[in-house]
Amino acid sequence: MAPVNLKAATKVYCSLLFNHINPSPCTLCGQSESGALCVDCLHLLARLTVPVCRCGLPHGNEQPVEADSVPPLCGRCIRQPPPFSASQAPLQYTFPIDALITRYKHRADLTVERALAPLLAETPLPWADTDAVCPLPVHWRRRWRRGFDQGDHLARLMGQYWQRPVLPALVRQRATASQQGLSRRQRQRNLRQAFHCQHPVTGLRLILVDDVMTTGSSARAAAQCLLDHGAKDVRVWTLARTLPPPLA
């Protein structure tokens, strides 16, 4: 079992208790909304339409598709198909969700979780045949420094909303460098042999849960590990998805 940073963990749980007893105003603008995002700030969140590619990126035609249909692949996925069969994210990774996720991930600011709870509670189970929800884990050293694992928190929250068990099947066995600022190729190289499957997953259909998908390198590595250990299918759900910049 990984060691626990008692100071960081105490900070997280004291924050959770304090925020439960003393609801804060809107976490963005400061107006009184019992700790949730106010209506105006909620409208600032950039929704992501139903993705029409396996990697979670919408195609240029923006035509919606049925959730259970098989979507066509984008050019990159045709060249290098991801091991997961589908991915979804309700939000684009842009202001203000980028700032909120930074606070959530790096400062263990649980007011963000409560502020987004109404939005997350309305998010339907994306794939009805799912057997379990699996967090995409951080390495224990990073969790020790933060006292917090955002992927685990999100997975447990969504597992409650979706009424599916949470299976912490993966551990991050190698302390990889931060993915921020790395190119796609550097991210893939950084994640080689990064994950280990510690629980039986044979025959299971799993949803990998994390906060953000940028290039998808972490999700690819984690999904491949689960499939190598017998998972029947792996899909990915993240709170937000980074979109490529528009063509000039």
**Residue 232, helix vs strand vs coil:** coil
Give the pLDDT mean for 182-188. Answer: 58
Which pair of structure tokens corresponds to residue 123? 């998010």
Amino acid 93: pLDDT: 96
Amino acid 4: pLDDT: 47
Give the pLDDT mean for 23-34. Answer: 73
Quick: pLDDT tens for 61-76: 555 555 555 667 888 8
Amino acid 62: pLDDT: 55
More confident of the two residues 233 and 146: 233
99-128 burial, b for 16+ CB within 10 Å, e for fewer?
A: ebbeebbeebbbbbbbbbeebeeebebbbe
Q: Which residues contact 190 (CB under 8 A, 6 or more apart)?
A: 176, 177, 179, 182, 217
In 10 A of CB 155, how many CB atoms? Answer: 26
Quick: pLDDT tens for 198-209: 999 999 999 999
